[in-house]
Structure 1
Amino acid sequence: MDPPGIVPIYLALTGTMDQRQRSRAALQATCLSLGVITLFALLGQQIISYLHIDLAALQGAGGLLLLLVALQLLTGKADDPNEAATSNIALVPLGTPLLAGPGAIVAVILFVKQAESNVDYLWIALAIVVIHVSIFLVMRFSGFLVKILRRGGIEVLTRIAGVLLAAIAVQLIADAVMGYVAVFESSAGASVW
């Protein structure tokens, strides 16, 4: 999770909103992310085991979803008021998969799996809360950039955010493919021996 890194995407997605709506979107996105990350911290391993999902599949799905959002930012469809009225950007894509994305979900599952004592679980819980408070504060007080950049600057920032988001999406998809390649190579190597 990257509090400063979310600012350009947050501003691009909320550029047409007033300050009150942006603050509400920041709070909703943070709460959703906190809920998703907490859920996966508590039950993540059981969820992916029950559904027979590989972590690589989770990364690939998140990458595809982010790629769709990136295309909307690049083509200007994120600025269309008719599009914005039909969905809540605070939930998708801000809350998930940008904040509570595949990387954060996989990381929290792995950290919980490696925890050896109650103190380790306490540190993980504290880290989850601190990062979410940081994310909320960064998004909440990024509004001063809107005053500086104005409408034209937000449009440029939207396109840049779209390119960056597309790169993140492609990286997630590539990581998922490489994860499957590694599994395939290890199973092929095991079958040869």
Structure 2
Amino acid sequence: MAKFFSNLNAVLVAAVILLIVVIVGFHRDIAGNDMMAYLNGLFRYLHVLFGIMWIGLLYYFNFVQIPTMPKVPAELKPGVSKYIAPTALFWFRWAAAFTVLMGLVIAGSPPDTYVVEALTFQPGYRLIGLGMWLGLIMAFNVWFVIWPNQKRALGIVTVDDALKAKSATTAMMFSRINTMLSIPMLYCMVTQGVLGE
């Protein structure tokens, strides 16, 4: 059993198999139902799945890695900066991209297409629109501020020590901005349609 659970790929394959069992077992007549409604639900599921990975890694960086790094002995820091952080940043940025993509697919799909209404804060869509804008700003920060600066800070891109230190500070500040924005963003996303506006 330990051998199985120590293999992440095997666990992920098992998870997909379980997902297929759930889909087949609880949505037996997908073709007979409204396919667009089913796909909308599937895209919502993917939006949440990728969003959990994105925000989970954001919180890992801000609540665990950044506060802990000053306490890590100098000889152990390369283990984080050369192995853990680059891998975490890979999943972080792609989870951000796919979260936004799935959100836009949901908002742009019939029967209730609302991208324009949400992004322009029309009545009935202001809360989700605010959540979408916060998510878009956060994703922009991930790809165009945090990741380029992290590449310099982690030594993935070679720069002088002054730029490396400045890049680390910039990446940290924008990561903290994203943490700050994530709190109201999640509120907007979760309460839209439940609490009204």
Q: What is the TM-score of this pair, normalised by structure 2?
A: 0.41
Higher RCO (CA < 8 A, seq sep 6+): 1
Structure with greater proportional helix content: 1
Q: What is the TM-score of this pair, normalised by structure 1?
A: 0.41
Bigger radius of gyration: 2
